């Protein structure tokens, strides 16, 4: 087993803190509920809190807020605050965000091949 792949295991067990999580950390991130939806939503131009909330109509404020923070923390989106009343904030994908979106598209394609037959 390669070191690269082992590292993710070690991280999760806090056995070898020097090693970075990377893959598992990324998977934990993108598998959080609504995470990919918010990402795709911003990619398609819904660039404000309310616009995203309306588009993903069942998402809660709490979760949307959290997911936006995470996306920003990992530098997948930028957050631009305008000094206006009422408040105005705009979100946009970064290059890394675009790259992740592309990767998720591949995953999506694969999943469409893998999953459907199980539900038939």
Partner DNA sequence: CAGTATCCCCCACGATACTG
Partner DNA sequence: CAGTATCGTGGGGGATACTG
Binding partner of 61, given DNA, its own copies, none, CB within 5-8 angstroms per partner class = DNA
C-alpha closest to that of 101 among 53, 51, 36, 48: 36
The residues that touch its own copies, with contacts defined as CB under 8 A, are 1-2, 4-5, 8-9, 12-13, 15, 20-28, 30-31, 33-34, 36-37, 40-41, 44, 46, 55-56, 58, 73-76, 96, 99-100, 103-104, 106-108, 110-116, 118-119
94 phi/psi in degrees, rounded to 5: -90, 180
Under rule CB under 7 A, residue 62 binds DNA: yes
């Amino acid at each position: 087993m390669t070191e690269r792949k082992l590292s993710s295991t070690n991280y999760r067990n806090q056995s070898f803190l020097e090693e970075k999580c990377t893959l598992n950390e990324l998977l934990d991130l993108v598998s959080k509920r609504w995470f990919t939806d918010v990402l795709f939503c911003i990619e398609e131009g819904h660039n404000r809190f309310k616009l995203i909330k309306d588009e993903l109509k069942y998402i809660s404020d709490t979760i949307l807020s959290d997911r936006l923070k995470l996306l920003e923390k990992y530098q997948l989106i930028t957050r631009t605050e305008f000094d206006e009343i009422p408040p105005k904030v705009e979100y946009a994908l970064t290059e890394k965000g675009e790259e992740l979106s592309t990767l998720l598209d591949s995953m999506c394609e694969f999943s469409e091949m893998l999953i459907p037959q199980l539900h038939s």
